[in-house]
Structure 1
Amino acid sequence: MGKRNRNFKESIRYFFLKYTVISLILVYPLFFAFMVIILKINTINNTKQATNDISASLEHVYRNYYDEINKMSNSNTVINLINNRLHSNTIYDEFYKFNINQKVKSVFYIVDNDGIFLISTTTADDEISKPIVENITLRAAEKPNEVIKQTDIVNYSNNKETVYTFAKSVKDGNGKIVGCLIYQLYEEDLQQLIRVRGNEIAVVTDEYSNIIVTNNNSVKGLMNKFIPKYYYKDKYVNLDVDKYYINKKALSTVPIYVYTLNTIEIKNMIFVFYFLFLIIVSIGFWFLINYFANRMSSRNTKSIDTLILSVNELQNGRMNSYVDIKSGDEFEILGNQYNIMLDELNALIKKNEELFSLRRIVEIKQLQSQFNPHFIFNVLETLRYSILIAPKEAEEIVIGLSKLLRYSVNYKGQKVMLRKDLEYIEDYLKLNKHRFNDKLKYNIDIYEGVKDAYVPKLLLQPIIENSIKYGYLDKDIIEINVAGELNDGIITLEVKDTGTGIRKEQLDNIRRSLKESENITEHTGLYNIHRRLVLLYGGKYGIEIESIFGEGTNVKLTIPYEKSDI
């Protein structure tokens, strides 16, 4: 029987299903092993973290009570109470201010040498007071310079229980013991302190393994002691029928030990859920991989259809007919190259549109500048006086203004010979010369070989206009020099003036704006010239500005030499 022939689409579907099923068969046991390891690591980390958290909390509680009992035992108010029975209210206030800020609350006593309870924050009958007098006060008297700490379980009538005691003798100014201070900590508050999220069992013992507090009574042995049954390197214990990971830590300031325990056995129910999960996931995967196999097998055909559709749309003038092919093969490369080609085409169109728009803006701005009512008014005022005083000069003004307006309005080309543009500049400067007389001096020194170059129309006029417009702000007389030369196929044109100049901050803003794709300053003329040159000739051409405030401004313009066809 011959081998079955499959087409390209069927082959993709077959191999996808084959290798996916193999992968799933390998993943299931790995997933189970990973789950067991993660559960164990998580148990160990939770146990250790719980130990650290509980230890830190107990350290804080211990330090607070240790400091407080030392402070109170040296208090003159306490000594006066014991000796003279004075200021009991003050001591009650001190205790309640301290106690209310503690996570673990306590019962407070002051007992004199005769066993009389001078201060008691709860009702203490003989069953409670007698052990205190016969045990705690005697131990404190034996070590008068130390704080006595011991595990004591005391049941009170209000159904509360204390489990740990701090005590210290009180001495008068002569060093004589006059009484004893006692703090007994409530079990219910310690219970809250050892309840840590992610931990099952917590046990706190003293140095003799006596349980101070625990959240699970099953750990209590004979005489209220906790003696864990280790079975592996002091890390694992048997408790009832379960196995637990155990972590132990001693408090740094007192021989109190914190034990935290978490079970490490994976319950049978987890295995049941695991296999149910595998069955459900397997069924779901079977339908899912069949779906994806069909999708993948038809993707290449879809990629080709997408490309053909986009090319047809492009032919019909839709310039945004991009393709989005994520096949990861040669079709994706082809689609990316098509998108790059479309980007370049759109960029070229946008560049031409922007260049055309800038040219129109420059021409409109120049027309507005020439027909600016203020400028026309000043010229006509000069003309009115010249008709009476200097008819010859009036004739020159009329001719110059006529030529200026005719050039601005009638000349349609985007590029002109520099010689033609210089005639316009000459007329413009002459008109301003008539206005300002000796207050304006100018000189045009352009290399003759440059004058036949083909340049953008109205190239220098906005620069010269700025020199006149801003140059007289703080100056009575300004001089404008226009120069041009040709070096290695590059034309350099300079407009220098001796006007007011530009402040450094403003100059920095202008230079920064020339690097942007959109104008961010009010200097429209300079920006439009620079942007138009960049679009026409490239980024290395355009405008450079140098200026010293109070001395003048130098604007340098560079463009490639382009010989006129005329």
Structure 2
Amino acid sequence: MIPTKPYQRMIRKSLFITTILPAFLIILIGFVTFLGVYRMIEINNLKHNIVQSKDIVTSLNQKVTKAINNNKHQFESLNPKNDHDKTEIRRLINDSIHIKDASMIYILENHDIKMTNNYEDKNLSNLLRIKSQNIKFNNGYYKLSIYIEEQPYLNQLHYKNNQHLLLVDSYDNVLYSNYEKIPSNYKVTLPKFGYVYKSEYIPELNAHIVLLKDIHEILNDGIKLLSIMLLTFIILTIFGYVSSSKISQVQTRDIESIIKRIKYAKERKLGTYEPLSRTSELEEINKYVYDLFESNEALIRSIEDTEKSLREIQLKEIERQFHPHFLFNTMQTIQYLVSTSPKKAEEILQKLSEMLRYSLRVKSDNVLVKDELLYIKKYVTIQNVRFDDKIKLLIDVPYDIKEMKIDKMCIFPFIENAIKHNEYECDLTINIRIRENTHNLLIIIKDDGEGMSKEQLRLTRENLNLSVYETTHLGLNHLNHKLILKYGLRSKIKIYSIENKGTMIALRIPRGR
């Protein structure tokens, strides 16, 4: 994604704020209002439900108490340890707790006997105890405890309304709780924050019945409304962002198009020319970007081609420097001289090693003129051993030019070529002449060898322009390409030759290179 400009971000930001801020304030006010109204409704609901809960618990307590008192005389005549009496006792208690819309569990016990209808072995600490009374039987007193197992209205408070019922004594001990966060047998002080609650005192139980609701659960009850508000806000946010982006894009479309094309131009992915969507002064910049891209691409291609050619020439130059034919002939000559003239053989071997050391010196492409001439002298000395001193080398180079730098091995190929083509091994004179003018060094190499016919001269000149992979004339060919690539066409090698008269080579190298 292309980064936007600061002015586009400012336009989009201002439009986005003017769209979203009012919507956010409306939703915020609506949500706060919802919490206030919903809390008020819950408080009123708690007031009503706590009264109803108190009435139900009180009514159940009174009905059970009345029924037990009515059976008091019958209990006194029965013995819980007697199996026959046990059946009667169970019947009497079940009749006492058999009340419409309520299911109860009883426990009758003393230190050595226990009777109950809790056949499912429910945890009594999770049940609301509405009655605890000592009952007299003919063998002593037994404690009777009665718990509410099921009561539709009380169950609805917990499961439907998420209201929690507690029974708390005067010492703030929790006698009963259906709220997992406040367990039974727990001393509690009801918090001032996070809950809404109402309480009523029940004299029959000497305890307060408390109905409370967690504010977080109030939020859960209103989650649907909150979700609608959030969904509305998200839709408005998306709409505001999209609309502000669209408007800012329309206002800055042409500028962004130019920025995008500049990016593509940097990545070399810009295609053919495309005008802007609207006619404006920016079209001049757009045209300039395309023109600059095309010029840059042409320059890059030229540089790549040049680098490729230079690499090819360097490879061929390495191949040429290790000319096996010259090494073979020289080693044969040394082998011959070892037996006939050991000192001469040692001298030739020394010059050969110096030549190899010079040719392998690749740290610099430029050498002093005097070093290049010294290399040529050693080469001619070695060749004269083979040709019985028939090669004469004349050097006409002023002293100050000898201290200048030229391209390494830029003269040697011509000397090598002149000797190689002296087929009849006649006397051969090679003249090296170097002069300077304001900007260039002019190098002329002449020999009085066989020369070339017009056809041979034409072919030789054509071979100079072939690729290094398309010719076997590596020496002159690669040197010609190298000079043209480095210095331009003005440094191209010029060859002149007359059959049976000799050959002259001329080349021009800029000074100070």
Normalising by structure 2, we get a TM-score of: 0.45
Largest Rg, 1 or 2: 2
